[in-house]
Amino acid sequence: MNKFFLHLGKQPLANNYLKYYSKNQVKYNLNLFFNTKDKLVSISKRIPSKKMFNNNYPYKSSMSLTMRRSFLDLSKEIKKRFNPNLILEIGSNDGALIKNFDKNNAIGVEPCSNLAKITSNKGYKTYNNYWNFKLAKKLKKNIKKIDLIYSANTLTHISNLNDVFKSLAYLMPNDGILIIEDPSLMECIKKVSYDQFYNEHIYVFSAIAVKNLLDKFDLELFDINNLSTHGGSLRYYIKKKSNNNVKIKSSVKIQIKKETKFGLNKFTTFKKFAIKTINSKNSLLKLIKKIKLNKKIIIGYGATAKATTVLNYSKIDNNHIDFFLDTTPDKSNKYMPGKKIKILKYNQNLLKGVDYIFLGAWNFKNEILKKEKKFIQKGGKFITHIPMPKIF
């Protein structure tokens, strides 16, 4: 049974950065639910994938040093630990992971054609498709053996999880390895990062929910790593239940025990999160309004999908934030979704005269603080809403 716990207002498509501001940009109700049976947390409104992931998806994983490093480290681990002949990445984006593999050893699947083009132009076989059973069948027919399947921040974007995991189990050989990586529900709740929810993020997974899903397809977890990326993520290592050659590590039991103790299997946890979220929204707006009373300049840093949720939910607009800075070329000179706040191409000179930076990309706080030492030395301050709104 799906139980409602939070309404995050009306939200535009989180990555729909418009060239010309329109106050009529389409918005959808963003409501969060907890399923008492399978323990999955999801949003209710499902937008057709084609509306979100098409030929002009702006987000590129390679835009941050943190993510480039994380993918490089993972590629080293995969080679050392599993030594696969062929890996398949679902949601290969701009190739931040597969570029660390030889062209003959890695294949991408990417529904956004602008991104798929990047990896195929570099010589990587890239299927410009959505992940589904039809594609899994095609791959099984065309490719001899895929030893390892990897997918980061992608499966949570696909509505039909039964089809997702059925397709994965079908394509995996008996000794195959599946690694998936997504924001951790426990970290999201702990940090009150309600901004992990937007129309693209249909689910935010816990290990408990992933285990329940895998059970249905005779798959099982054999290791879990906690990562600091995207505000705290989990990397799940999965095998077929019939494969007894891989040992199940204690990390699996430990994570599930931690999550159960924290209450991720209980609806009351999400009711408490909803109250904290409402308080966070109110105090962020109050904090920003107080700063503006003193005629100070606030800008945003990192025009993230997460920031779209925060701005539209907290009713923050161009009276509060002058502009956003972002390094992504496809976001430059466009407007934050749902808001008349312009995004400018990152240039350190644009920080002159700025008093406060609102951290849209709070998940890259360390990387950004390192880069903006000058701003800090000159007395510049940051605003964050994670875990609670504050200035630092």
Q: Which x/- pattern, by CB under 6 A, does the window 281-320 give for ligand DWN?
A: ---------------------xxxxx--------------
* Contact between 252 and ligand DWN per CB under 6 A: no
Candidates 92, 153, 167, 280: give the one binding ligand DWN (CB under 6 A).
153
- Which of these, 256, 249, 221, 252, lies nearest to 237 by C-alpha position? 221
d(CA 128, CA 236): 25
> Rounded to the nearest 5 degrees, what angle is found at the Cα of 180, between the Cα atoms of 179 and 185?
140
The residue (of 317 and 330) whose beta carbon lies closer to ligand DWN is 330
- 126 vs 107: CA distance, rounded Å: 6
Does 49 participate in binding ligand DWN (rule CB under 6 A)?
Answer: no
Q: Which is nearer to ligand DWN, 320 or 331 (CB)?
A: 331
Q: How far is the CB of 126 from ligand DWN (least distance, A)?
A: 18
Minimum CB distance to ligand DWN, residue 190 (Å): 18
Find out whether 212 and 154 touch, Cβ atoms under 8 Å. no
Q: How far apart are CA 282 and CA 258, in angstroms?
A: 30
> Is there binding between residue 364 and ligand DWN (CB under 6 A)?
yes
Minimum CB distance to ligand DWN, residue 64 (Å): 4
**In the bound complex, what is the minimum distance in angstroms from residue 220's beta carbon to ligand DWN?**
25
Measured between alpha carbons, how far is 101 from 378 in angstroms, rounded to an integer? Answer: 43
Determine if 63 is a binding residue for ligand DWN (CB under 6 A).
Answer: yes
Cβ nearer to ligand DWN, comparing 146 with 325: 325
Residue with tokens 């089809």: 163
Tell me, rounded to whole angstroms, the distance of Cα 102 from its chain centroid: 26
Using CA atoms, how far residue 213 sits from 122, 160, 217, 285, 289, in Å, is 35, 12, 7, 39, 44
Which residue, 203 or 270, is less far from ligand DWN as judged by CB? Answer: 203
Residue 151 or residue 269: which is nearer to ligand DWN going by CB? 151
d(CA 298, CA 174): 55
Sketch the per residue contact string, 204 through 233, with ligand DWN: x for CB under 6 A, - otherwise.
--------------------------x---
List the alpha helices (DSSP H) in the chain.
49-52, 65-81, 113-121, 133-142, 161-171, 185-190, 207-215, 250-262, 267-293, 305-314, 365-371, 373-377
- Which part of the chain contacts ligand DWN (CB under 6 A), choosing from 119-127, 132-140, 322-330, 376-384? 322-330
358 vs 12, 65, 297, 301, 386, CA distance in Å? 20, 20, 11, 6, 11
- The answer to whether residue 200 forms part of the interface with ligand DWN (CB under 6 A) is yes
Nearer to ligand DWN, 235 or 306 (CB): 306
Question: In whole angstroms, how close is the CB of 305 to ligand DWN at the nearest point?
Answer: 4
How many residues contact ligand DWN, by CB under 6 A?
22
115 interacts with ligand DWN by CB under 6 A: no
CA distance 314 to 61: 27
Contact 267, 34 (CB under 8 A): yes
Structure tokens at 95: 């190739």
Question: Is 100 or 105 the residue whose CB approaches ligand DWN more closely?
Answer: 100
Binding test (CB under 6 A) with ligand DWN, winner from 363, 365, 375, 382: 363
Q: Which residue stretch of 114-122, 169-177, 240-248, 327-335 sits at the interface with ligand DWN (rule: CB under 6 A)? A: 327-335
279: Cα within 13 Å, side-chain hemisphere: 11
Q: Is residue 368 near ligand DWN by the rule CB under 6 A?
A: yes
Residue 180 tokens read as 């998936």
Contact status: 327 vs ligand DWN (CB under 6 A):
yes
Spacing of C-alpha 269 from chain mean position: 22
341 binds ligand DWN (CB under 6 A): no
State the residues that interact with ligand DWN by CB under 6 A: 59, 63-64, 153, 200, 230, 302-306, 326-328, 331, 346, 361, 363-364, 367-368, 371
